[in-house]
Every structure is written in structure tokens, then in C-alpha cells.
Amino acid sequence: MTDTRPPSVLTIAGSDSSGGAGIEADLKTITVHGCYGMTTITGLTAQNTTGVEKIHPIEDQGFITACLDAVFSDVGVDVVKTGMLSSQETITTVTNYLKKHHANKASVIDPVLCSTSGSTLFPAEYVSVYLELFGLATIVTPNIPEAVELASVLEKKKFETPKTVQDMKDLAVSIHKTGAKWVLIKGGHLSFTKDKEPAKENDTDKVVIDVLYDGKDFTELVMPYITTKSTHGTGCTLASAIASNLAKGKDIPQAVLEGTQYIQNAIFEAHPIGKGHGPVNHTYNMRVLPFQKGHFLDYLLSHPKVAPAWKQYVEHPFVMQLAKGDLKPECYYYFLQQDYLYLRHYARAAALSGYKAKNIAQTAAAGVIIDTIQSELGLHIDHCKENGMSLEELENSEEGLQCYAYTRYLIDVGAAEDWLALQFATSPCLFGYGIAARNGKNHPEYKPGNRYSSWIDKYVDPKFGCATETGRALLEEEAPKVSPERLEELIEIFATATKMEVTFWNKALTLGE
């Protein structure tokens, strides 16, 4: 049996009441990366985009351990990511727990000492306690102020804020001595020119450089500098992106590269939220379907581009007069002639659909629809014979402009577009006749046994319903796979074909006027 369990990532961090950083940012990031996120909350913060007002550490170490036990003993943990750990005691608890339950497994340690906006989240005198945790890390991800603080404690000397890429590399070398396998110095607090010189405020084409170090080699990750206030939670988000990428089996260089690409786009696509440093857009690359899976047709028929014409179509006076039995015979037989010609072209379109199909199921579905068309044609032939019209006369009927325009539109879509577009073009006919016939049968003035009731009965018959269900199943399966922009194009095709259905019946209804 295939294991469909998503990779799991545990974030051990604090909560951000404004939702832009901490576990809130972590869970959003983990989710959009296709992983399953879990938490152990180490502290609560009262904060927003303007800063951190209060921090309430979780002091009960037994509770923190219980949270860790609950996660590790049940779901399991592929990668651990840590953020704000709130106190010396919590760092010790987490370090000891990971030594026992997660040794030699992937962990991303984001040493949250201060936020991107500059708020202090962890007292400087506690920094030395962090260093033992670093020895368990696959990668540590300090920003520049945190790297300066950590290196100063490690080397027992004051490090100045770096001004060059070499200064950042020196910080990475120092922090690597803790035993972490990799060190990523996040360079978001600095900007450089493309020549890697410190940038001035009015410089254009500025870049940001992150430095990745494995104890031997340096990798410089150069990205465009984005002028923005939407930087709240960038550190948490990047660390969680790296953790998620590791959980999906990527190596460190690739996990970091893709993580930095993700955070760049999340910053660039951020919405203006709050009065200060707003959050990034964690879900910028997550597509949200405008409909619930399995209910695309409901969405399609209620779409503003479709709904007005669809109502005209399935409640058309032509069908209602068929239901009541008072449609002029010449209108009905004109319709049969035109519909006979239309269905022949429709069958061609269905055959083209089978040719363009991507798999045997889609080709077989085209066959089901063609079989249904053949049955419909038989009904038309029988009805015309009852009116004294031979098959030869029916075959040689002149094709009206409405029929011509509609059928050539279907063939044109089939020739110029892909398989799915052709399904959208042919679907109004496939779905609409059954619905219109049911509406006619449910009409309060419906007369069973009238001269046209066999037409109504044909389209409410379960055999016709089989073809419509086949068509619906294809759309329900394929619609969620296309981009929002392409979906709108396909809906436009459906709407156009629906309008042509209306004009088709309009012509038949007005023939005798």
C-alpha cells in the first residue's frame, strides 16, 4: 500500500498574536510546502507589526515535555525547526529532549534573539545556553544582529556589525565552531551593490547576500534587494521553508536555495497589512480553488459569465412549449432538421475530442457521447418520418446560419485549442438538454402524451443521463488542475457555446412568426 503521509515538521517556537511570525508563520509555510506541521509552543507574545509588547514564557517544563512526547509518540517527526525558546530552562529542556529522541536527524535551529524589526526576544546573558543546542543542528540560521551576538559570546570579544561579505563569512566561521553542520547568515539587514560593495541609500539595483557555510566552503546567495516594510516574520518563514524542503528529501544547498527563493517571492507578493513592518505573503504560491472539489459544474453554471445565458437556455420558451404541446409543428420540424445537422457535426467534435484525449478513459468517454448522439439522431429520423420527411430530405436540409455558426465554433475550438477546451465547448449541449427537458416536464402546464412528449422523455431518460454524467466526471477531474487564468478562458468558451444554444432555439421558435 502506498504511503501518502506527508512529510512532518515540528516547530518549537513562540506564538505571534498578529499571525505574521512565530508558529503562525511556521505553520503557514510548512503547509504551503506540502508538509504536515505540528507545534510545541514555548511562549506567547503580545505583538503586532509595530513591535513586541509583552512576552509570556511557558515556564512549566513538564508541559513542554508533554507536548513533545505527544507529537513524537504519535505522528512522528521528520524535521525539527526551533524558533523563540523563551528561557534558559526551555532551551535546556528542548536540547535534552532532542538529544534523546531526535539525535542525528534533521533540525533547523533559528536562534531567535531579536525580531526582524529589532525587538529583543531573548536576553543577551542567556545566549551561551543556546550553544549546546547548536551542536545538534543540521543548520542554524541567525540574522546579522543574532550572528553578531552569538559570535561575540563564542569568541569572548565584541564583534562589530558587518559591513562586507567577508565580515559575514567571519561570523559564519565563528558560529560553525558550535558543532552545527551548516551555518546560514541571513543578510537581510544589509544591502550591497552588484559588485558586492556596501550600498548607499540612493543606489539602484541593490542586492541582498546570504552566506551559507559548511565548515569548508562558502556559498553566496545573491538576491535582489526589495524595498518594502513587509518583513515581519521573514526569519521564521525562511527557517520553516528550509525545514520543509529537508523533510521532502532535499539536501541542504537545495533546501536553502529554494527557501530563499520562496521568501523573496513572499516578500515581493506581500499585502500591506498593519501600521508597521507587515507580514510576508506566505501563501503567494498556493492556489485556492474558487469551487469545492467535486462541485465544479455547480460553480460553472452559477458563474457570472454563464448564469444569465444558462437560465435563458434551460428555461427556454421553445422547450416549455414542447412540454405544453402547443409549439407550432413547423417550428418543431425545423428544429429537428437543424438539430440533426448539428448533431452530425457534434459527433465530429466528439471524435476530435477522442483523438486529442490524453488517456484511454477520455477516448472511451468520447465513444460514449458519440453513441448517445447516434441514438438522438434516430429519434430525429423517426419524428421526421412521422411528418412525411424522408432521411434523404433530412440529410439534404439547408443548414441555417445559427447551426452553421455554432457547429463551426465547436470545430474551430477543437482544432485550435486543447482537449479540455473542446469539452467546455461541447458541454452546454451535453448538460443543458437534460436539464431543460426536466424543467419542461416539471412545468405546471406539462401535458403527458402530447405530440412532443417523446422528445421530453428522451432527454430525461437515464440512458441520456449516463452520457451527461460521463461528461461531468471529466470536467470535475480536470478543472482543478488548470490555472485560474486558463479556467476563466475555458469558462468563456462554455459561456459562448451556451449563448449559441439560446440563439439556436430562438430561431426555431420564431420561424412561424
How many Å apart are CA 259 and CA 29, to the nearest integer? 10
Catalytic residue, from 236, 429, 466, 513: name it: 429
d(CA 308, CA 291): 19
Strand 139-140 and strand 207-213: pairing? unpaired
Structural element, H or E, at residue 202: none
Catalytic annotation present for 236: no
> Which of the residues 24, 149, 376, 501 is marked catalytic?
501
Task: Let me know: does 52 contact 68? Beta carbons within 8 Å.
Answer: no
Closest Cα partner for 191 from 144, 257, 253, 238?
Answer: 144
Q: Which CA distances in Å does 83 have to 34, 140, 442?
A: 20, 11, 63
116 to 20, 76, 163, 362, 406: CA distances (angstroms): 11, 31, 18, 53, 60
Q: Are 467 and 369 in contact (CB under 8 A)?
A: yes
d(CA 316, CA 322): 10
Cell numbers 517544563 correspond to what residue? Answer: 61
Neighbours of 46 (CB within 10 A): 13
Residue count (the chain): 513
Interatomic CA distance for residues 175 and 154, integer angstroms: 7
d(CA 421, CA 401): 23
**Closest by CA position to 446, among listed 321, 318, 323:** 323
- Catalytic, 501? Answer yes
Residues tagged active-site: 429, 501
